[in-house]
Amino acid sequence: MNLDELIKNRKAKVAIVGLGYVGLPTAVALAKAGYRVFGIDIKKERVNMTNRGKSYISDVSSEDLKKSIKSKKLRAFHNHLPLKNSDIILICVPTPLDKNKIPDISYILNTAKEIGKYLHKNQLIILESSTYPGTTKEIILPILQKSGFRVGKDFFLAYSPERIDPGNKDYALEDIARVVGGITKKCTQLTAQFYQSFIRAEVFSVSSSDVAEMTKNLENTFRLVNISMINELALLCGKMGIDIWEVITAAKTKPYGFTPFYPSPKVSGHCIPLDPFYLSYKAKEYNFGVRFIELAGEINEQMPHYVMAKVIWVLNLKAKPVRDSKVLIWGVSYKKDIEDTRGSAAYDIIADLIRKGAKVDYFDPYIPKFKVKHRILKKSAVLKSIKYSPKILKNYDLVLILTDHSGFDYDKLAKKSKLIVDTRNAIKSRKYKNIYRL
Ligand SMILES: NC(=O)c1ccc[n+]([C@@H]2O[C@H](COP(=O)([O-])OP(=O)(O)OC[C@H]3O[C@@H](n4cnc5c(N)ncnc54)[C@H](O)[C@@H]3O)[C@@H](O)[C@H]2O)c1
């Protein structure tokens, strides 16, 4: 059978390289759709948990994962051998920045080399990781071509960005439209056909992998720039004594031409604050500076310092120095209702509070343990989430809300706490006098 038929009959065997926030939900969605799926990860723990049907990603229920494992549709591996027997390979590996904000594409390179070892005719390879325009064509294609196989004839290669929004219950992976762009027309057509076979939403084909990569960069740059812009206005509103949250609520009554973005202690996670810097890096090849991205990044990096300044100011109102103050951090994951802490403002803020001599506890129902390793600390600090009950709030001089996890009575939090700095507008009522917002 050729690939068209294998996809049509769901007989194609699909390998997913990287079983993280993107790879694991995709593996389960494909298994549900009837495909046989080989999940591959270099983290043994993730492989073992997957095979035991124990989910480590909050968007995937253990029940669904177990079903996929029990039906023998999904199996995870700690090596790349299944690539050999796969018809379709999805690359879902990390694309971080190094400490100098330079793209680290080593995970993509290593994966491409592994695929190169097992490449055979009639295979479709799709990159899903977020990256700069040109990665599929300039980085992956030459590695695969070393086999002597011809792209678009012997094997097929495309880019399709994952747009998953962890913690968002309104959009399952299958309900998010896909953009696909291949190296050749045939690559695009097969990729579109593949996604259409398990995605309920639209599959939108573009003219090249470069366009598909740039589309993802545009989406994430749009968010980073706008969130940074609203954060800058939040700082100004703070100085002017204007409630930015009320301003946004009012502005969004406009029926067109306005999209609401909300202040936060820092844009974090593995996508929005990173991908734009992939584009910024690539732009330098063209002697082009993407100033909006650089400016947005600068504002974003300053946000935790601003939050610290607010904490110091609020404690000062009650004649309290930071030293020896008891501070409870409410939420350390980078956004609500997920267990992902990558890049979270909590790292910077907890490190700074510890350095200034505060006694810091935190509460996060998703994160039992939080390790703060920060260059401003002499040694790393490992904190354990406290067990929350409203009674314990009286033990703290200040509660700092960094993440507004759902399912908590924020009015009670407001009533029982001495002071609160709320960076997320978790406390909606304006009647409390002990609340200070971003
Ligand atoms: N998390 C998100 O919200 C999100 C959304 C859209 C796109 N993305 C993009 O998707 C990509 C993956 O993100 P993620 O959040 O799933 O990352 P993740 O770190 O949760 O998962 C990636 C997995 O890949 C594994 N891995 C790394 N190298 C490997 C190799 N050579 N072979 C096998 N496994 C390997 C890692 O061990 C890890 O488990 C990134 O490019 C990210 O920017 C992420």
SS3 annotation, the chain = CCHHHHHHCCCCEEEEECCCCCHHHHHHHHHHCCCEEEEECCCHHHHHHHHCCCCCCCCCCHHHHHHHHHCCCEEEECCCHHHHHCCEEEECCCCCECCCCCECCHHHHHHHHHHHHHCCCCEEEEECCCCCCCHHHHHHHHHHHCCCCCECCCEEEEECCCCCCCCCCCCCHHHCCEEEEECCHHHHHHHHHHHHCCCCCCEEECCCHHHHHHHHHHHHHHHHHHHHHHHHHHHHHHHHCCCHHHHHHHHCCCCCCCCCCCCCCCCCCCCCCCHHHHHHHHHHCCCCCCHHHHHHHHHHHHHHHHHHHHHHHHHHHCCCCCCCCEEEEECCCCCCCCCCCCCCHHHHHHHHHHHCCCEEEEECCCCCEEEECCCCCCCCEEEEECCCCHHHHHHCCEEEECCCCCCCCHHHHHHHCCCEEECCCCCCCCCCCCEEEC
Residue 217 Cβ < 6 Å to ligand 1: no
Residue 401 Cβ < 6 Å to ligand 1: no
Closest C-alpha residue for ligand 1 atom 5: 164
Closest C-alpha residue for ligand 1 atom 18: 20
Q: What is the pLDDT along the chain (438 residues), one digit of tens a residue?
A: 899 999 999 999 999 999 999 999 999 999 999 999 999 999 999 999 999 999 999 889 999 999 999 999 999 999 999 999 999 999 999 999 998 889 999 999 999 999 999 999 999 999 999 999 999 999 999 999 999 999 999 999 999 999 999 888 899 999 999 999 999 999 999 999 999 999 999 999 999 999 999 999 999 999 999 999 999 999 999 999 999 999 999 999 999 999 999 999 999 998 899 999 999 999 999 999 999 999 999 999 999 999 999 999 999 999 999 999 999 999 999 999 999 999 999 999 999 999 999 999 999 999 999 999 888 888 899 999 999 999 999 999 999 999 999 999 999 999 999 999 999 999 999 999 999 998
Atom of ligand 1 nearest to the CA of 111: 31
Q: Are strands 381-384 and 420-422 parallel, antiparallel or unpaired?
A: unpaired
User: How many angstroms separate the CA atoms of 243 and 234, rounded?
Assistant: 8
Residue 115 Cβ < 6 Å to ligand 1: no
Atom of ligand 1 nearest to the CA of 128: 10
> Strand pairing partners for 38?
15, 75
Residue 271 Cβ < 6 Å to ligand 1: yes
Is the domain spanning 225-437 CATH 3.50.50.60? The answer is: no
Residue 105 Cβ < 6 Å to ligand 1: no
How many alpha carbons lie under 13 Å from residue 227 in its C-beta half-sphere?
A: 21
Residue 46 Cβ < 6 Å to ligand 1: yes
User: How many angstroms separate the CA atoms of 321 and 185, rounded?
Assistant: 65
- Which pLDDT value is given to residue 95? 97
- Which pLDDT value is given to residue 260? 98
Nearest by Cα to 401 from 362, 428, 432, 369: 362
Query: What would the pLDDT profile of 45-63 be if each residue is shown by its tens digit?
Result: 999 999 999 999 988 999 9
Residue 241 alpha carbon to ligand 1 centre in Å = 42
User: How many angstroms separate the CA atoms of 74 and 64, rounded?
Assistant: 11
Domain-by-domain residue ranges, the chain?
3-207, 225-437
Atom of ligand 1 nearest to the CA of 166: 3
Residue 129 Cβ < 6 Å to ligand 1: yes
Residue 146 alpha carbon to ligand 1 centre in Å = 25
Residue 24 alpha carbon to ligand 1 centre in Å = 10
Residue 110 Cβ < 6 Å to ligand 1: yes
Average pLDDT, rounded, for the chain: 96
Contacts of 206 (CB under 8 A, 6+ apart): 179, 180, 181, 188, 212, 215
- Which pLDDT value is given to residue 294? 96
- Which pLDDT value is given to residue 91? 98
Closest C-alpha residue for ligand 1 atom 13: 94
Nearest by Cα to 72 from 51, 86, 57, 88: 51
Residue 44 alpha carbon to ligand 1 centre in Å = 15
Closest C-alpha residue for ligand 1 atom 15: 21
Residue 23 alpha carbon to ligand 1 centre in Å = 7
237 in active site: no
Contact 125, 140 (CB under 8 A): yes
Query: What would the pLDDT profile of 375-416 be if each residue is shown by its tens digit?
Result: 888 889 999 999 999 999 999 999 999 999 999 999 999 999
Burial grade of 326 (CB within 10 A; 0-12, 13-18, 19 or more)? middle
Closest C-alpha residue for ligand 1 atom 11: 129
How many alpha carbons lie under 13 Å from residue 158 in its C-beta half-sphere?
A: 32
- Which pLDDT value is given to residue 204? 98
Closest C-alpha residue for ligand 1 atom 25: 18
Contact 330, 361 (CB under 8 A): no
Residue 112 Cβ < 6 Å to ligand 1: no
Residue 94 alpha carbon to ligand 1 centre in Å = 4
- Which pLDDT value is given to residue 169? 87
Residue 358 Cβ < 6 Å to ligand 1: no
The CATH code belonging to domain 3-207 is 3.40.50.720
Residue 401 alpha carbon to ligand 1 centre in Å = 28
- Which pLDDT value is given to residue 138? 98
